[in-house]
Structure 1
């Protein structure tokens, strides 16, 4: 697991499993934001309001739209513990919109600038993952066309 700092952070990346979350319906509405679960670690402590964030859909065994980047937006507040007594995990509030041009995992692997994405190297890692400044500079134009 690579270390990240504010100096080399391009964007945060949240992974969603379509077998556990109805991401297909979310994509259909265009709204992928809300409170996403994050691990209690140093990365979560670095998250700040206004940071760019992308939503990566993981493999879903045919239950989802396919692996890749399906949303982009921003962190809208500090990570906090959920208010539901049954769910005491950390959640980060976000505003994320479905992108007009999703970038698939295969497209990322084929790109010299994106082939090293942490989410491709370590797909089982807890949220949040991240993109370096270089990776974000390569990805942003592809998803905002």
Structure 2
């Protein structure tokens, strides 16, 4: 059994989607921000999520897997009819940061989203992995709303 995460373990949250941004939010243009509600799996991790936390939108699948948007948690995790949800202000990145770039990085390649791609939301990056993503894609460090 693995140890439970703490806030200090998490540099960035990762929310996964099987759908690319054009299908997640039709008309969502690169460089623009949208607020989207994402489903998250009930677990102790939800108690670690705070307003202002950075988040990556990881699109899985065969077409362009990787980081397609960066965002910030804008509200507390809430209950919905379909289970818990979190609202994130996202900025779509162009080009996306491909899965292969993360696999090639000596720090990022151990990220949970790469080791357990079928894992549930939310996943996470360590502070070192989050730094590696920002180094690989400087636009990932730009806060939502600033482009």
Match of 1:68 in 2: 66
TM superposition shift of 1:74: 0.5
Cα distance in 1, alignment partners of residues 131 and 60 from structure 2: 22
Cα RMSD between the aligned structures? Answer: 2.2
Find 1:112's aligned residue among 101, 106, 113: 106
Ranges in structure 2 where 5+ consecutive residues have no aligned partner: 140-147
TM superposition shift of 1:142: 3.0
Find 1:134's aligned residue among 121, 124, 128: 128
Ranges in structure 1 where 5+ consecutive residues have no aligned partner: none
1:17 and 2:18 aligned: yes
Cα distance in 1, alignment partners of residues 117 and 27 from structure 2: 22
Q: Note if contact 1:99-1:143 (Cα within 8 Å) is conserved in structure 2.
A: no
Cα distance in 1, alignment partners of residues 70 and 82 from structure 2: 26
Match of 2:4 in 1: 3
TM superposition shift of 1:89: 1.2
1:78 and 2:76 aligned: yes
Cα distance in 1, alignment partners of residues 51 and 13 from structure 2: 12
TM-score, normalized by length of structure 2? 0.82
